[in-house]
A and B are shown apart, each in its own frame.
Chain A
Amino acid sequence: MSSIDGGKDLPRPAAAPARPGAPRHEVIATAQRAWLTYLGGMALAFLPFVAFINDAHWLNILALTYLMGGLAASWNIIGGFGGQFSLGHGVFFAIGAYSTAIFVTRWGVSPWLTMIPIAIFAACVAMLISWPTFRLRGPFFAIATLAFNEVAFVLANHAESLTGGPRGLSIPFKAGLANMIFRDRWAYALLMFAFVALVIALCVWLRRSRLGYYLLAVREDEDAARAAGINVLGVKLKGMALSAGLTAIGGTLFTMYLRYIDPPTLFTLPEVGVKFALLSLIGGIGTIWGPLLGAALIVPFENWLRSAYADSLPGLSLAILGLLMVLAALFMKRGVMGVIDDLLKRRRGKGAS
Chain B
Amino acid sequence: MDIFFTVLVFGLLLGGIYGLVSIGLNLIFGVVRIVNFAQGELVMFGMYGGFFAWHWWGINPYLSVFLVAPLVGLLGVAIQRLVIQPLQHEPNMQIFATFGLLMLFQNLMLMVSRGEAYSVGGQVGSTVLTVGDLKLSLVRVVTLVAATLITIGLHLFLARTMTGKAIRAVTQDKRAARAMGINVEKTFLITFGIGAALAGMAGVLLTPIYSITPGVGGNFILAAFAVVVLGGLGSVWGAYLGGLVVGIVEAFAGFYIDPVLRSAVWFVIFLIVLVVKPSGLLGQVGAEEVGFREQH
Contact = CB atoms under 8 A, between A and B. Distances in A.
Touch between A and B in complex, CB under 8 Å? yes
Interface of A: 20-21, 85, 87, 132-133, 135-140, 142-144, 146-148, 150-151, 154-155, 157-158, 270, 274, 277-278, 281-282, 285, 313-319, 321-326, 328-330, 333-335
User: Which 3 residue pairs across A and B have the least CB separation, nearest first?
Assistant: A325-B100, A21-B89, A322-B103
Contacts of A137: 288-289, 294
Contacts of B89: 20-21, 333
B229 A322 contact: no
B110 A144 contact: no
Describe A's contact surface by its main secondary structure.
Answer: helix
Contacts of A270: 99, 103
Nearest to A333: B90
Contacts of A143: 35, 225-226, 229
B260 A158 contact: yes
A319 B271 contact: no
A154 B261 contact: yes
Nearest to A277: B95
A323 B104 contact: yes
Main secondary structure of the interface of B (DSSP, over half): helix
Contact of B225 (A21, A146, A335): A146
A315 B108 contact: yes
Interface of B: 29, 33-35, 83, 86-87, 89-97, 99-111, 114-115, 214, 222, 225-226, 229, 233, 260-261, 263-264, 267-268, 270-271, 274-275, 278, 288-289, 294, 296
A161 to B, nearest CB: 15
B114 A135 contact: no
B111 A314 contact: yes
B92 A281 contact: yes
Contact of B33 (A138, A158, A278, A326): A138
A322 B38 CA distance: 11
A146 to B, nearest CB: 6
B45 to A, nearest CB: 15
A80 to B, nearest CB: 9
B104 A322 contact: yes
Nearest to A331: B86
Contacts of B106: 315, 318, 322
Contacts of B86: 330, 333
A144 B222 CA distance: 10
A232 to B, nearest CB: 11
Contact of B104 (A140, A150, A158, A326): A326
Contacts of B107: 315-319, 322
A328 B94 CA distance: 11
A143 B221 CA distance: 11
Contacts of B94: 329
Contact of A136 (B225, B267, B274, B294): B274
Given A313-B114, A325-B100, A135 B222 contact: no
Contacts of B274: 132-133, 136, 140, 144
B115 A325 contact: no
Contacts of A329: 83, 87, 93-94, 96-97, 100
Given A133-B274, A282-B96, A334-B93, A316 B111 contact: yes
Given A138-B294, A150-B264, A285 B101 contact: no
B199 to A, nearest CB: 17
9 contacts: A132-B274, A147-B267, A281-B93, A314-B115, A321-B100, A326-B83, A326-B100, A329-B94, A329-B97
A275 B175 CA distance: 33
